[in-house]
Amino acid sequence: MNNQNLRLTALFLFLFVPSLLFSQDDLFELLETDSVAKTTYSYATFKTTRVVYGQSVENPANGNLLFLIQHNFGTLNSGAYELFGLDQATIRLGLEYGLNDFITVGVGRSSWQKTYDGFVKAKLLRQSSGAKVMPISLSFVGSVAINTLKWQFPDRKNYFRSRVAYVNQLLIARKFSSSLSLQLTPTLIHKNLVATRNDQNTSFALGAGGRLKLTKRVSFNAEYFYFPDNQTTLNQKDVFSAGFDIETGGHVFQLHISNAKAMFDRAFISETTGSWGKGDIYFGFNIARTFVLKKPLSIR
């Protein structure tokens, strides 16, 4: 090999061998990146924070304030004199704020027994696939309700604690597809004061609900709460509610019918006496409006 061939060979090695080495490194990095699976989290299991009356696993986003108007008319069997319930009204106004991506706090005031309520909702698990597989979403809700009606017997000694009741719930949900979501809601209710000695201060209920997406902006929702009747002397009925969610930009309208009149957890789960078979059916609606109070850092 003459000197000219040696120089050409050296020049080839100098120019191309480093490029091959760097290309090999880039290929290894690409393969490593592709081999690391990403975690994909489910979202919009339900369209808003309520299935119908009951809590869903959804929270307002971090820094968002949700204003919730819940309204029920009277029963359809009240007749033409009451315009089939339209002359009557029960209402609850509520505020829910996302402290972060996992915790929401809320307060509300209902015309039913002039009740004030407050709650904390915390996301414990979030449904996901990919690198991290979690088959369900799980949230905890703890709430308190305070009845502020005037005392029935003001002459006797009454205690503030008698007005207070507590509700603890687990929300166990799964989004099976873009169209179908289901949720189970085991519920524990404690009332400091009950109607008679035969009523239980602490009682249990089990809720089940779901969402079926019909169009891009409309879904059918339904829920049922089973409350064993051996826990109370009231003529308690299990609650079944159904309706439609309609999304219109920043608003979500929920139109529904139910045999429950009250719209906060303690009352509609454990104190409903309306019967579907007798026409004790209430037509009502929820309006949820979200306000952004704190924008995410990425879009400030």
From the number of C-beta atoms within 10 Å of its C-beta (0-12, 13-18, 19+), residue 117 rates as buried
Q: Which two tokens stand for residue 128?
A: 């996901």
CA distance linking residue 175 with residue 45, whole number of Å: 5
Domains of the chain: 39-299 (2.40.160.40)
CA distance 258 to 241: 4
Query: Does the pTM exceed 0.75?
Result: yes
pLDDT tens, 117-150?
A: 999 999 999 999 888 899 999 999 999 999 999 8
Neighbours of 227 (CB within 10 A): 22
- Whether 273 shows a pLDDT value over 80: the answer reads yes
Which range among 72-86, 97-111, 166-180 shows the weakest confidence by mean pLDDT?
72-86
134 φ, ψ to 5°? -135, 115
**Amino acid type, 151:** W
Averaged pLDDT of the chain: 86
Cα-trace Rg, the chain: 28
Residue 231, pLDDT above cutoff 90: no
Give the up-direction half-sphere exposure of residue 227: CA atoms within 13 A in the CB hemisphere.
26
Neighbouring-strand partners of residue 147: 115
Q: Which pLDDT does position 76 carry in this prediction?
A: 81
Q: Give me the mean pLDDT over the 161-167 stretch.
A: 94
Cα(42)–Cα(138) distance, rounded to whole angstroms?
A: 12
Query: What is the per-residue DSSP string for 91-160?
Result: EEEEEEEESSSSEEEEEEEETGGGEEEEEEEEEEE--EEESS-BS-EEEEEEEEEEE-SPPSSTTS---G
User: Does 138 or 39 have the greater pLDDT score?
Assistant: 138
Task: Determine how many CB atoms are found less than 10 A away from the CB of residue 202.
Answer: 11
Distance, CA of 122 to CA of 168 (rounded, Å): 12
